[in-house]
Amino acid sequence: MAGNNNSRTMRIHLKVWRQKDKSSEGRLVDYTLDTVSPDMSFLEMIDVLNGQLVGRGEEPIAFAHDCREGICGSCAMVIDGEPHGPQTGTTTCQLHMRTFNDGDTIVVEPFRAKAFPVIKDLVTDRSALDRIQAAGGYVSVSTGNAPDGNAIPIAKDLADAAMDAAACIQCGACVAACRNGSAMLFVSAKVSQFALLPQGQAERERRVSRMVWQMDEEDFGSCTNMGSCAAACPKEIKVDNIARMNREFGRAMLFGQQREQRSED
Amino acid sequence: MNLDSKIPSGPISEKWTKHQFDSKLVNPANRRKFNLIVVGSGLAGASASAALAELGYNVKTMCIHDSPRRAHSIAAQGGINAAKNYQNDGDSIYRLFYDTIKGGDFRSREANVYRLAQNSVKIIDHCVALGVPFAREYGGLLANRSFGGAQVSRTFYARGQTGQQLLLGAYSAMMRQVDSKKIELLNFREMLDLVLIDGKARGVICRNVLTGEIESHAADAVVLATGGYGNVFYLSTNAKWSNATAIWRAHRRGAAFGNPCFTQIHPTCIPVSGDYQSKLTLMSESLRNDGRVWVPKDANDTRTPDQIPEEDRDYYLERIYPSFGNLAPRDIASRQAKFVCDEGRGVGSTKLAVYLDFAAAIKRDGQDVIAGKYGNLFQMYEKITGDDPYKVPMRIFPAVHYTMGGLWVDYNLQSTIPGLHVLGEANFSDHGANRLGASALMQGLADGYFVIPSTLAHYLGSTKLDKIDTNHEAFKEAQANVQSGISRLMNIKGNKTADELHRKLGKLMWDNCGMERSEQSLKKLLEEIPKLRDEFWNDLRIPGEAASLNQELERAGRVADFIDLGELMARDAMERRESCGGHFRTEFQTPDNEAQRDDENFCHVAVWEHQGEGKAAKRHIESLNFENIKLATRSYK
């Protein structure tokens, strides 16, 4: 039972990516922690290490994190080569040290992709994903217009399927896992949510085409159907969404969607 | 200090409509002449940004994250209340109003709460229209469940991720406005000061956390929606970055603080497992729809839960509160959990936990049904504890979750600084001394989507605002103030990390101003905090430079503010010589250990005014008048 493991501690060796800023070269630096509790979360272990580093007057490891409940999508580490580490369906913050063994060496790196520049250590800039959302990830309805909530009945299985897709936390693990750095799983999850729901129908073609084109502009790679995105996804978003997005995009082209010039400032 | 609550006259059900009619408007062509700043991008901030931009105002929205969608509203699990009465179980706007006033132990404003209940209905409609995938029945209509403090099912939900889905709805509406350039999104910004010109809020100073650059932003009005301050306690269900800096710095510039000691301790959180613990994780209140809370009857019972027969278990909530049972409100359920643990009947290795048991529900409905309702919560519990709640009862314990206190606002959600409006958890309104479950999401969205668009228009339409820009003296003064604050922190060059000092503060607060408080504990706290403050300002260490991404610097600034706010909380708790809701003074309790209010002397909001650095804040009061609901002793028995 948790809470009873305090007497048993582990020695963990870490190789952590340290990079001063965007323009500096980074490298893996070795650290060892002698008293890691199996009940610690992975981030709590980094907290302990950071406490020691600050104690020695060194700069702590910068990393993004916030809710530590697996829902905000901030935390983003590649652990032993896998985004969010070895446990399936788990964000870095929810990964616990009981997953590892005494004496293990763990390699910790940032999410790597052309579209996610490293800002410092393990922190990357993932705002490209927001720009894709802004291109079409919404239903255009202004406040005050809505009919009664029950005026739009939605079959339970459709609502459930939309919810499955909407569970995406925008962490970017799918991008980091993809050898092409593609954001197809992320974009397709949003496209699917609205393609499945009646509320999304009015903007169906416009939405998918604008989101896909924005994705292209943000330096994400192409999808080659490897499926490593879905395998890495901490929310287990299904790869079927990509198939649905491809259908939606093809349909939008048939309906004559035209690519507009979107100037970025 | 002018504490006019600006509550409109007339019958309660007509106040808001009348107020909207009496308010000034800004015509559509003029709206684009106004620049607004919204700080924070959770439910309140995102919905306000979207709604204001939709109306045509120019909005700048700031958030500390890379993406506005990471605000901590995202983690709200259980649901959102609305008086739809879709279940035909006797709900109404008036009943939601009544339940919320009673749940708040008669320490909130009637008019605000009634408006909240009215707007609740429109929130659901709007969120559905935005494509929020709420849970549905087979017929395609919206599903509901029950939450604490209510005997009707009025809670709408999206699995255990309601906050996420509602926030994504508001975020999507906001991103639509970013795309049409009505919102300028300023991510990676932390607000560090408020700028006042002629006594009005005219802008903010913020730090770009990536570059360390200190920026000035001017506006015609400022909206703060920066959430609560539960992280004063270090360990709480709040996110690690949730902080009080924006509201605290506004307080120092003159915004009064309402009821700082009103803190909500949530009864069902995963217990602490070690000293390294960085935060606590909530297990949604919705679990109490099907989970039964119990401890062994005998303190010396060392059997595993499956070996303890029914007759040796004490389902204490069902026993003490037969009509509400496991769905007693949060303050009450938390306190009872503490009482049974104080009696030595707690479970687990630390004896600081109680069981939340799903065996009966699984037997009744089957595992699939339970998994359908709470699957992600069960999974989260298993990841954190290593135990499978389908087989072993969850072990839970109360933890700091929400702060009902916050910046004082009038009916227009305006603080004591003209032009500074405060929304959501950051303000003190609506929840009194205890918030009911599924009401935080309701308040955040009501404030943002439906209240602020009207009340801010009134301010803009009725106030003379001179043309100013960031070259104004006031911006230079505030910039210099922020710069010197940062230099002061960087130059301490001591030996302790901000986290270490924060943990110390948290323990002091939890031990002395937590689930229960007493004159003695508060006295001790008020002696200890100044010592901790000295320690902080003499022994803090921040490596690295201020002019780059420096997470230790960010943390340190927040901890400095938490220390000062903690002291104000202690003083507020000391002065409120009664128990009410989450504020439980051990000296004031009924013979059966319930909170004993003192309506004669404390039926008011305590409003604290900053008096300058190093000086004690001054306490004012806003009396609460109950014209519709009779003050009564709260009973859930």
Q: Which residue has the tokens 């303190």?
A: B299
- A133 in contact with chain B, both atoms CB, cutoff 8 A: yes
- A214 in contact with chain B, both atoms CB, cutoff 8 A: no
**Predicted local distance difference test score (pLDDT) of residue B314:** 97
Residues of chain B found within 8 Å of residue A145, distances taken between Cβ atoms: 126, 129
Question: Closest partner residue to A70 among B156, B348, B380, by Cβ?
Answer: B380
Mean pLDDT of chain B: 96
CATH number of B265-401: 3.90.700.10
Select from A138, A201, A265 the residue whose CB has the most chain B CBs within 10 Å, as the one to mutate to test that interface.
A138
pLDDT of B40 > 50? The answer is: yes
Inter-axis angle of helices B498-513 and B551-575, nearest 10:
20
Are A157 and A205 contained in the same domain?
yes
B597 is annotated as an active-site residue: no
- ipTM of model: 0.96
> Is A2 domain-assigned?
no
- Sequence-distant (≥ 6) Cβ neighbours of residue B456 within 8 angstroms: B36, B52, B221, B223, B421
Phi, psi angle pair for B268, to nearest 5°: -115, 85
Query: Are the beta carbons of B125 and A68 separated by less than 8 Å?
Result: no
For residues B280-304, average pLDDT: 94
Of the candidates A120, A149, A183, which is a domain's last residue? A120
Residue type, B165: Q
A32: three-class secondary structure by DSSP: strand
Pairing of strands B80-81, B263-269: unpaired
pLDDT of B84 > 60? The answer is: yes
B557 token code pair: 């600034």
pLDDT of B297 > 90? The answer is: yes
Residues of chain B found within 8 Å of residue A206, distances taken between Cβ atoms: none
Contact between B6 and B193 under an 8 Å Cβ cutoff? The reply is: no
Cα nearest neighbour of B237 on chain A: A67
Residue type, A131: R
Contact between B452 and B50 under an 8 Å Cβ cutoff? The reply is: no
Of the candidates A58, A87, A120, which is a domain's last residue? A120
**Predicted local distance difference test score (pLDDT) of residue B148:** 86
Q: Which helix (H) or strand (E) holds A110?
A: strand A105-110
d(CA A173, CA B478): 40
- A19 in contact with chain B, both atoms CB, cutoff 8 A: no
- A265 in contact with chain B, both atoms CB, cutoff 8 A: no
Are A115 and A181 contained in the same domain?
no
Residues of B6-38 as b/e, b for ≥16 C-beta within 10 angstroms? Answer: ebbeeebeebbeebbeebeebeeeebeebbbbb
What is the per-residue pLDDT across B312-371, written as a single tens digit (0 to 9) for each? 999 999 999 999 999 999 999 999 999 999 999 999 988 999 999 999 999 999 999 999
Residue type, B215: E
CA torsion, points B479, B481, B487, B488, in degrees to nearest 10?
A: -170
B217 token code pair: 């932003």
- A264 in contact with chain B, both atoms CB, cutoff 8 A: no
Are A54 and A165 contained in the same domain?
no
Contact between B148 and B329 under an 8 Å Cβ cutoff? The reply is: yes
> Closest Cα of chain A to B86: distance in Å?
9
- Please, what is the end-to-end C-alpha distance for chain B in angstroms? 41
> Is A79 domain-assigned?
yes
d(CA B636, CA B325): 8
pLDDT of A265 > 50? The answer is: no
Question: Closest partner residue to B176 among A98, A120, A140, by Cβ?
Answer: A140
Residues of chain B found within 8 Å of residue A148, distances taken between Cβ atoms: 125
Q: Find out if CATH 1.10.1580.10 is the number for domain B476-611.
A: no
Contact between B282 and B268 under an 8 Å Cβ cutoff? The reply is: yes
> Is A153 domain-assigned?
yes
Cα nearest neighbour of A58 on chain B: B543
Residues of B313-347 as b/e, b for ≥16 C-beta within 10 angstroms? Answer: bbbbbeebbeebbbbbbbbbbbbbbbebbeeebbb
Contact between B589 and B579 under an 8 Å Cβ cutoff? The reply is: yes
Domain limits, CATH 3.90.700.10, in chain B: 265-401
Interface of A with B in 225-254 (CB under 8 A): none
pLDDT of B139 > 90? The answer is: yes
**Which CATH number fits the domain that encloses residue A157?**
1.10.1060.10
Instruction: Given the residues B70, B253, B288, B330, select the one marked as catalytic.
Output: B330
- Burial of B206 per CB tally in 10 Å (0-12, 13-18, 19+): buried
B113 token code pair: 């709460």
Query: Are the beta carbons of B164 and A71 separated by less than 8 Å?
Result: yes
Cα nearest neighbour of B159 on chain A: A163
CA angle centred on B62, ends B48 and B240, rounded to 5°: 100
Residues of chain B found within 8 Å of residue A147, distances taken between Cβ atoms: 125, 129
> Is A264 domain-assigned?
no
B627: three-class secondary structure by DSSP: coil
**Which CATH number fits the domain that encloses residue A110?**
3.10.20.30
Are A105 and A158 contained in the same domain?
no
Residues of A61-77 as b/e, b for ≥16 C-beta within 10 angstroms? Answer: bbbbbbbbbbbbbbbbb
Cα nearest neighbour of B445 on chain A: A143
- Sequence-distant (≥ 6) Cβ neighbours of residue B68 within 8 angstroms: A130, B41, B45, B46, B61, B171, B174, B185, B187
Select from A143, A163, A199 the residue whose CB has the most chain B CBs within 10 Å, as the one to mutate to test that interface.
A143
Query: Are the beta carbons of B135 and A64 separated by less than 8 Å?
Result: no
- Write out the DSSP string of B257-317: EE-TT-EEEEEEEPPP--TT-----B--GGGGGT-EEEEESSTT--S-GGGS-GGGEE-HH
Q: Which residue has the higher pLDDT, B376 or B24?
A: B24
Q: How many Å separate Cα B34 from the centre of its chain?
A: 29
pLDDT of B78 > 90? The answer is: no
Question: Closest partner residue to A69 among B178, B281, B395, by Cβ?
Answer: B281
Are A51 and A116 contained in the same domain?
yes
**Predicted local distance difference test score (pLDDT) of residue A5:** 44
A211 token code pair: 């989101």
Residue type, B491: N
Query: CB A102: neighbour CB atoms within 10 A?
Result: 11
Q: Which helix (H) or strand (E) holds B618?
A: strand B618-623
Are A89 and A23 contained in the same domain?
yes
Of the candidates A90, A120, A150, which is a domain's last residue? A120
d(CA A188, CA A194): 10
Query: Are the beta carbons of B210 and A119 separated by less than 8 Å?
Result: yes
Question: Closest partner residue to A72 among B140, B239, B385, by Cβ?
Answer: B239
Query: Are the beta carbons of A123 and B549 separated by less than 8 Å?
Result: yes
Query: Are the beta carbons of B161 and A167 separated by less than 8 Å?
Result: yes
Query: CB B178: neighbour CB atoms within 10 A?
Result: 23
What is the per-residue pLDDT across A3-40, written as a single tens digit (0 to 9) for each? 444 458 999 999 999 999 999 999 999 999 999 999 99
Residues of B400-427 as b/e, b for ≥16 C-beta within 10 angstroms? Answer: bbbbbbbbbbbbbbbbbbbbbbbbbbbb
> Closest Cα of chain B to A154: distance in Å?
4
> Closest Cα of chain A to B374: distance in Å?
14
**Predicted local distance difference test score (pLDDT) of residue A7:** 59
d(CA A8, CA B362): 34
Nearest partner of B404 among B199, B544, B576, B634, judged by Cα: B576
Query: Are the beta carbons of B543 and A40 separated by less than 8 Å?
Result: no
Query: Are the beta carbons of A138 and B551 separated by less than 8 Å?
Result: no
Domain that holds residue A80: 10-120
- A154 in contact with chain B, both atoms CB, cutoff 8 A: yes
Cα distances from B115 to residues B14, B112, B357, B359, B442, in angstroms, run 9, 5, 37, 40, 11
Q: Which residue has the tokens 């217990």?
A: B271
Looking at the structure of chain A, the number of domains it has is 2
Residues of chain B found within 8 Å of residue A60, distances taken between Cβ atoms: 543, 551-552
Nearest partner of B391 among B371, B411, B405, judged by Cα: B371
Contact between B355 and B294 under an 8 Å Cβ cutoff? The reply is: yes
Residues of chain A found within 8 Å of residue B226, distances taken between Cβ atoms: none
Query: CB B390: neighbour CB atoms within 10 A?
Result: 13
**Predicted local distance difference test score (pLDDT) of residue B405:** 98
For residues B231-259, average pLDDT: 98
Contact between B203 and B39 under an 8 Å Cβ cutoff? The reply is: no
For residues A52-79, average pLDDT: 96
What share of chain B has pLDDT > 90, as a percent? 94
Residues of chain B found within 8 Å of residue A49, distances taken between Cβ atoms: none
Cα nearest neighbour of A56 on chain B: B495
pLDDT of B160 > 90? The answer is: no
Query: CB B80: neighbour CB atoms within 10 A?
Result: 30
Question: Closest partner residue to A6 among B68, B274, B278, by Cβ?
Answer: B274
**Predicted local distance difference test score (pLDDT) of residue A1:** 38
Query: Are the beta carbons of A71 and B543 separated by less than 8 Å?
Result: no
Q: Specify which residues B337 forms β-bridges with.
A: none
Are A186 and A105 contained in the same domain?
no
Query: Are the beta carbons of B125 and A149 separated by less than 8 Å?
Result: yes
Contact between B247 and B426 under an 8 Å Cβ cutoff? The reply is: yes
A72 token code pair: 């905000």
Contact between A25 and A19 under an 8 Å Cβ cutoff? The reply is: yes
**Predicted local distance difference test score (pLDDT) of residue A261:** 67
Query: Are the beta carbons of A130 and B453 separated by less than 8 Å?
Result: no
d(CA B336, CA B339): 5
Nearest partner of B421 among B21, B44, B22, judged by Cα: B44
> Closest Cα of chain B to A27: distance in Å?
18
Residues of chain B found within 8 Å of residue A53, distances taken between Cβ atoms: 543
**Predicted local distance difference test score (pLDDT) of residue A262:** 58
Question: Closest partner residue to A166 among B138, B168, B173, by Cβ?
Answer: B168
> Is A96 domain-assigned?
yes
Domain limits, CATH 1.20.58.100, in chain B: 476-611
Residues of chain A found within 8 Å of residue B130, distances taken between Cβ atoms: 138-139, 141, 199
d(CA B154, CA A219): 46
**Predicted local distance difference test score (pLDDT) of residue A3:** 42
> Is A54 domain-assigned?
yes
> Closest Cα of chain A to B111: distance in Å?
22
Contact between B18 and B419 under an 8 Å Cβ cutoff? The reply is: no
> Is A259 domain-assigned?
no
Cα nearest neighbour of B165 on chain A: A166
Where residue B455 falls among pLDDT bands split at 50, 70, 90? very high
Q: Which residue has the tokens 């894709």?
A: A132
Q: Which residue has the tokens 């009779």?
A: B630
What share of chain B has pLDDT > 70, as a percent? 100
**Predicted local distance difference test score (pLDDT) of residue A2:** 41
Cα nearest neighbour of A67 on chain B: B239
Which residue spans within A114-264 are E strands per DSSP?
Answer: 118-120, 123-124
Question: Closest partner residue to A152 among B128, B281, B348, by Cβ?
Answer: B128
Work out whether the CA dihedral A251, A253, A255, A261 comes out positive or negative: positive
Query: Are the beta carbons of A59 and B543 separated by less than 8 Å?
Result: yes
For residues B283-291, average pLDDT: 91
Interface of A with B in 47-66 (CB under 8 A): 47-48, 50-51, 53-55, 57-60, 62, 64-66
Contacts of B588-593 with CB under 8 Å at 24 or more apart are: B590/B633, B593/B335, B593/B339
Are A171 and A250 contained in the same domain?
yes
Q: Which residue has the tokens 């306690």?
A: B233
CA torsion, points A203, A208, A209, A215, in degrees to nearest 10?
A: 140
Q: Which residue has the tokens 């049904």?
A: B369
